[in-house]
């Protein structure tokens, strides 16, 4: 095995120091979408052993009445973005129209969306185990004006 040169050692130390600095800066000032240098706050909390486990989704209904989940692939919106801005969507459901626009932009031949809903499915948990029961909590709805 060849011995590492002085330049190689300095390069490794600088790269390691830069990585540590980015992780520290991301932890203190970053957002979750700055992976892998964000604060990972989405993992910071834990539900109690008898509290429901939330599962957020955005659902669209097109002009034909077909309902389906809107995601990064078909509408250009990531679940983490929705969860991070849930309060803003609840306060102003008209913001969901942007998701309908994103869907139309990525699917120009598809029927337009008439409705977009922000829904949180709450899975029932008892003694830290899923019971198989759940209910949907519709938090915000945008309806295309007639």
Chain segment 60-110, per-residue pLDDT in tens: 999 999 999 999 999 999 998 999 899 999 999 999 999 999 999 999 999
CA 113 distance to own-chain centroid: 21
**CA 78 – CA 27 distance, rounded (Å):** 21
Q: Which residue shows structure tokens 């669209």?
A: 60
> Is the distance from CB of 33 to CB of 80 less than 8 angstroms?
yes
The pLDDT tens digits of the residues spanning 22-41 come to 888 887 887 766 767 777 66
Given a cut of 90, whether residue 128 has pLDDT beyond it is: no
């Amino acid at each position: 095995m060849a011995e590492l040169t002085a330049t190689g050692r300095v390069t490794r130390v600088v790269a390691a120091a830069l990585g540590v600095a980015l992780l520290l800066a991301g932890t203190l000032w970053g957002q979750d979408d700055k992976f892998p240098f964000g604060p990972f706050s989405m993992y910071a909390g834990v539900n109690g052993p008898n509290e429901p486990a939330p599962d957020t989704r955005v659902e669209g209904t097109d002009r034909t009445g077909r309902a389906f989940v809107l995601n990064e692939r078909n509408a250009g919106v990531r679940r983490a973005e929705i969860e991070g801005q849930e309060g803003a969507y609840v306060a102003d459901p008209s913001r969901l129209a942007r998701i309908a626009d994103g869907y139309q932009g990525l699917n120009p031949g598809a029927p337009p969306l008439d409705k977009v809903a922000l829904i949180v499915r709450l899975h029932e948990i008892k003694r830290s185990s899923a019971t198989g029961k759940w209910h949907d909590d519709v938090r915000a709805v945008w309806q295309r004006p007639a």
